[in-house]
Amino acid sequence: MEGFKEMSKNDDFIKERNKVIRKMGENNFIKKLGLDFIKLTHKYKYSYNFSWLGRPIIQYPQDIVAMQELIWEVKPDLIIETGIAHGGSLIFSASMLALLEFSRVIKTGKVLGIDIDIREHNRFEIEKHPLSNKIKMIQDSSIDETIIRQVYDFARDYKNILVVLDSNHTHNHVLAELNAYAPLVSKGSYCVVFDTIIEDMPEDMFHDRPWGKGNNPKTAVREYLKTHPEFEIDKSIENKLLITVAPEGYLRRVK
């Protein structure tokens, strides 16, 4: 009886939390504060400020926490990531898989990272990291047909797959990545598309980049979802984070 009471207290807490998160999602003023924060910190390259277990990770802390929650919930045995840079996100995913293994939630897990340009010093640091045995890296474009085939061959041995897209942020590139890798996402798991926020930022903010308003991960997600009802945007994530570079980018596979 005591246990039942405690369980229902937990349920009440989660119900109340979900209610508040929904309310925040309806509050345009508070949502704009989040967007303004990103707009104003972008010129300081705020997302470059953090490291995960020693490796620089190019993410906002809020999104890192959301990824932790997702990985614990989904319990993937394979995480496929496009865009390695300094390796922080690979090390983060590897550390989460190591925790899932340690807790005996999964038997063994792997991270597969693809980057067109893995700089020597980054490769060196990633390969000598204590978690490197959980990581496989491929150097080439993520939308190259041979590479896509290689990823599918590798994925064949895994049952529960989560995908993270964070490489070239143009519409065509992300759409090609979605077409290539979203089918690998297991039911109940996620395809996370980073930097959809570009669509919500001022026109001239990315003047030195091939992407910008109208040509970015969010426009690619919107086009992809038109013909892929097996994915739904998990709005609850952006509603609770308020500060996220992936609005409309947390895609849950529902069928």
Ligand X SMILES: C[S@@+](CC[C@H](N)C(=O)[O-])C[C@H]1O[C@@H](n2cnc3c(N)ncnc32)[C@H](O)[C@@H]1O
Interface residues with ligand X (CB under 6 A)? 57-59, 82-86, 88-89, 114-117, 141-142, 166-168
What's the burial of 169, exposed, middle or buried (CB within 10 Å: 0-12/13-18/19+)?
A: buried
Looking at beta carbons only, is 100 or 118 nearer to ligand X? 118
Least separation in angstroms between residue 174's CB and ligand X is: 10
Least separation in angstroms between residue 240's CB and ligand X is: 20
Looking at beta carbons only, is 89 or 239 nearer to ligand X? 89
Least separation in angstroms between residue 67's CB and ligand X is: 10
What's the CA gap between 49 and 56, in Å, rounded? Answer: 8
Looking at beta carbons only, is 148 or 161 nearer to ligand X? 148
Residue 42 to residues 49, 61, 83, 106, 118: CA-CA distances in angstroms? 11, 14, 19, 37, 24
Helices (H) and strands (E) in the chain, counts: 9, 9
Least separation in angstroms between residue 59's CB and ligand X is: 5
Looking at beta carbons only, is 192 or 242 nearer to ligand X? 192
Any idea how long the chain is? 255
Least separation in angstroms between residue 182's CB and ligand X is: 16
- Chain mean position to CA 57: 12
CB 165 within 8 A of CB 193: yes
Looking at beta carbons only, is 167 or 196 nearer to ligand X? 167
What's the CA gap between 191 and 8, in Å, rounded? Answer: 32
